[in-house]
Amino acid sequence: MKITLRRVGLAVAAIVVFIVLWSSFCLFVYGAWVPTTPEPHECKQAERVISEAKDFAAQSEDALARLQLICAIKRANQWYYQNAKINQILYSSGTLSIIFLSFFTALLIAAEASKKSEKWRILTLSLPLLSTAVATTMSQFHFQESWELRENGRIAAEDLLARTEMLPISKAEFSSAIADIRQNLVDLQKSQASRYFAYRFTPSDNPQIGGNADDSDKGKSSEASAQSMRPK
């Protein structure tokens, strides 16, 4: 294959377009030029407390438990946020692709482009096939439902985070409240997983999309259970 200036220009243009699209994707999803998920500072703070503490009796167990719970909630919140953004991009891009492909297909048919040459005929036939492939992919992978599900999960995680930051000072009330929030976080994860697999693999059931832990049956852990989850 002979290397020409036109081919080099097309290759460079393709690389530039790819870099721009990838950078835009990373900025929209991760808030940075590269895909990275920063560790919540509460996680680092909790690890530092555990590694430096020689005697946990000298440390505030309640403060450490609060840090660990906030760390877990923020990690879940970050994952829901990024996953929702990714599904938003996939759904929006797929929808726009179908619109443009349908428009150009109608334009080519109206102009009777298929009668001009074999290349135009192939192009006229390829666009509807490509549009159908995009629509089928969106239907099978449920980008819209995944976007909604993860966004609901993010909102539920934000609610748990706010409740964790306003935990009562009283030791008895704190133990009961933190055990309840831990259980709510577990319920949220279970609800997200069950509903995701429900609409992915049993679409005929048409489950309600959501992710709020309040929708599921919750059981409150006892104070003894909360004590057992604390570091010894």
- Tens of pLDDT, residues 99-121: 999 999 888 888 877 777 888 88
pLDDT score, position 232:
40
pLDDT score, position 135:
93
Residue 218 DSSP label: -
pLDDT score, position 53:
62
pLDDT score, position 1:
61
- pLDDT per residue as tens, the chain (232 positions): 677 888 788 888 899 989 988 888 888 888 887 788 888 888 888 887 777 765 554 446 778 888 899 999 999 999 999 999 999 999 999 999 999 999 998 888 888 777 778 888 888 889 999 999 999 999 889 999 999 999 999 999 999 999 998 888 788 888 889 999 999 999 999 999 999 988 877 654 444 444 554 444 444 443 433 344 444 4
pLDDT score, position 26:
87
- With beta carbons less than 8 A apart as the criterion, state whether 209 and 148 touch: yes
Q: Is the pTM of this model over 0.85?
A: no
- With beta carbons less than 8 A apart as the criterion, state whether 37 and 30 touch: yes
